[in-house]
Amino acid sequence: MTSIPVPVEAPPAPPAPARRVRRRRPERKGWLFVAPFLVVFALVFLAPIAYAVWLSLFREQVFFGGTEFVGLDNYAAVLGDAKFWESFLRVLVFLVVQVPVMLLLALVAALAIDSARLHASGFFRVVIFLPYAVPGVVAALMWGFIYGDNFGLAADLNDLLGRQAVAPLSADWILPSIGNVVTWEFVGYNMLIFYSALKVVPGDLYEAAAIDGAGTMRTILSVKLPAIRGAVVIATIFSIIGSFQLFNEPNILRTLAPNVISTFYTPNMYAYNLSFAGQQYDYSATVAIVMGVITAIIAYVVQLRGSRKGV
């Protein structure tokens, strides 16, 4: 979860040249505004991708130093790497469980806040969004302490019940525990995406639905949900990308539960540890590329399915 994108609808296609008014020179000056962005963009987006692809074609020589061109061998190695697949399956399980739970909670909250039936709805909106402003590191440290045996709420709960009722940092619980941290951090952010989309649903639609005798449930299913489909698709894509990139939370909780969270717990942790503990930069770059391609494909498929249903 390195970069947090601003929640918005799917990008608009560049407007067709509707007005064929003959325009003078100034149009070309648009480059003046766009060029600085593109220069930096090339440096921090395009160049690293090209460099990663280049690196992934080589392998470090163990004894002689230097590198050797190995073609696609690194890719073959990643695809046959049990550690890679273990970490991949783990984030896939995480994705399949955590993302729907989080998005459903966010949707319910957004519908409730938008329903005009909630007392102090503005207060709810701001407070539920608040964890987004908490750095992921602080959220993970905070929950890690709360989960812990030393002075956490989990320990208090066990004391209260007089037995080891919850053990959030044990092997069986750690993945749901991480899921809880991520949900806590981002449910409000997704709520806000949905809420912003609900806000701009035209009032006529509600009026029409009310005249047709639609109840609350009916209005939600037939008017509100279809109207915010774009926002749901975008939020789903962001959440999928976030899940595949899972790093901060497990990496920080690892200091509290080193025996439960391995160095290849998620693909991103695997790539990181290959680079910084193992010095296997070429292999690490390959893992990163493979994950990037898988993520992009899944995000693309979700986008296609999401927009096709809209037709």
Partner 1 sequence: MSTVRTPPSPFLRPRKSVVLTILMSLFLVYTLVPLAWLLISATKTQPALFGTPGLAFGDSFALFDNIAETFTHDGGIFLRWLGNTLLYVVVGAGGATVLATAAGYGLAKYRFPGRRAVFAVLLGAIAIPGTALAVPTFLMFSELGLTNTPWAIIIPSLISPFGLYLVWVYAVEAVPDEVIEAARIDGAGEVRIFLTVTLRLLLPGVVTVALFAVVSTWNNYFLPLIMLSEPDWYPLTVGLNQWSAQASGVGAQPIYHLVITGSVLTIIPLVAAFLLLQRFWQSGLSAGSVKQ
Please, which residue, 144 or 179, has the CB nearer to partner 1? 144
Q: Is 38 in the site for partner 1 (CB under 8 A)?
A: yes
Instruction: Report CA torsion sign: 65, 80, 90, 132.
Output: positive
Closest to 290 measured CA to CA, from 77, 134, 142 = 77
Question: Cβ atoms within 10 A of the Cβ of 131, count?
Answer: 17
Scanning 62-70, 78-86, 161-169, 187-195 for contacts with partner 1 by CB under 8 A, the matching segment is: 187-195
Q: Nearest approach, Cβ of 64 to partner 1 (angstroms)? A: 20
| Contact residues for 245 (Cβ-Cβ < 8 A; gap 6+) | 1, 2, 268, 295
Q: Is 111 in the site for partner 1 (CB under 8 A)?
A: yes
Q: What DSSP string describes 113-133?
A: HHTT-STTHHHHHHHHHGGGG
The owner of tokens 């004391």 is 159
Q: Nearest approach, Cβ of 109 to partner 1 (angstroms)? A: 6
- Please list the residues that pair with 59 across neighbouring strands: 68
- DSSP state at residue 150: T
Please, which residue, 167 or 299, has the CB nearer to partner 1? 299
Q: Nearest approach, Cβ of 310 to partner 1 (angstroms)? A: 9
Please, which residue, 276 or 305, has the CB nearer to partner 1? 276
Burial 280-311 (b: 16+ CB within 10 A, else e): bbbbbbbbbbbbbeebeebbeebeeebeeeee
Between helix 229-244 and helix 174-199 the angle, nearest 10°, is 150
| Binders in 139-158 for partner 1, by CB under 8 A | 141-146, 150-153, 155-156
| Contact residues for 279 (Cβ-Cβ < 8 A; gap 6+) | 60
Q: Which of residues 76, 296, 301, 304 is near partner 1 by CB under 8 A? A: 296
Structure tokens at 248: 């901060």
Cα angle, residue 252 at apex, residues 248 and 154 outer, rounded to 5°: 120
| Binders in 91-110 for partner 1, by CB under 8 A | 105, 108-109
| Binders in 257-276 for partner 1, by CB under 8 A | 258, 267-268, 271-272, 275-276
Please, which residue, 97 or 275, has the CB nearer to partner 1? 275
Question: Cβ atoms within 10 A of the Cβ of 235, count?
Answer: 25
Q: Nearest approach, Cβ of 283 to partner 1 (angstroms)? A: 10
Q: Is 76 in the site for partner 1 (CB under 8 A)?
A: no
Q: Nearest approach, Cβ of 175 to partner 1 (angstroms)? A: 19
Q: Is 55 in the site for partner 1 (CB under 8 A)?
A: yes
| Binders in 212-241 for partner 1, by CB under 8 A | 214-217, 219-220, 230-231, 241
Q: Nearest approach, Cβ of 252 to partner 1 (angstroms)? A: 6
Scanning 63-71, 81-89, 165-173, 283-291 for contacts with partner 1 by CB under 8 A, the matching segment is: 283-291
Q: Is 118 in the site for partner 1 (CB under 8 A)?
A: yes
